[in-house]
Amino acid sequence: MFCFKHLGSAMADGVDLSRKFVTESELDEKRKKRQEEWEKVRKPDDPEEAPEEEYDSRSLYDRLQEQKDKKQGEYEEQFKFKNMVKGLDEDETSFLDEVSRKQSLIEKHRRDEEAQEIKEYRISFCTLKRTRYYCHGS
């Protein structure tokens, strides 16, 4: 049982629109193949007849739009900020603690050096001042 709709114009365009329709015998053949496959994988507690394929009465556009929205949602979920932040493990924290400790030591050493240089400058300045005073004052 075929349904022919605009077959003449479809053939002129090189597209066989009659293939959009499925014959009853093709449906029976598909059911038979599905039943054979069901028999191969069926467990003893499963029903004898293969379950019918679920029929989705929505339009192709609606089904494709749902798939697109689902994929977009999964993509957005994957790149959400909360998913990009992860906690540090023990090795990472110990490494960062060590780096921080070394930076603190370097900074302390720099401050100590700077303080020592300032102290030496003051001593030399005072010494120079006294020397000039004694040299020029006499």
DSSP label at 21?
Answer: S
Of 8-17, 41-50, 65-74, 104-113, the one with minimum mean pLDDT is 8-17
Per domain, the residue ranges of the chain are 7-84, 88-138
Q: Which stretches of 21-96 are assigned E, i.e. beta strand?
A: none
Count CA atoms within 13 Å of residue 118 on its CB side. 6
pLDDT at 6: 45
Q: What is the CA radius of gyration of the chain?
A: 43
The pLDDT tens digits of the residues spanning 41-91 come to 777 777 777 777 777 788 889 999 999 999 999 988 887 777 677 788 899
- pTM of this prediction exceeds 0.85: no
C-alpha to C-alpha distance for 119 and 113, rounded to whole angstroms: 10
pLDDT at 3: 47
pLDDT category of residue 125 using cuts at 50, 70 and 90: confident
Closest by CA position to 23, among listed 5, 7, 3:
3
Phi, psi (degrees; rounded to nearest 5) at 115:
-65, -40
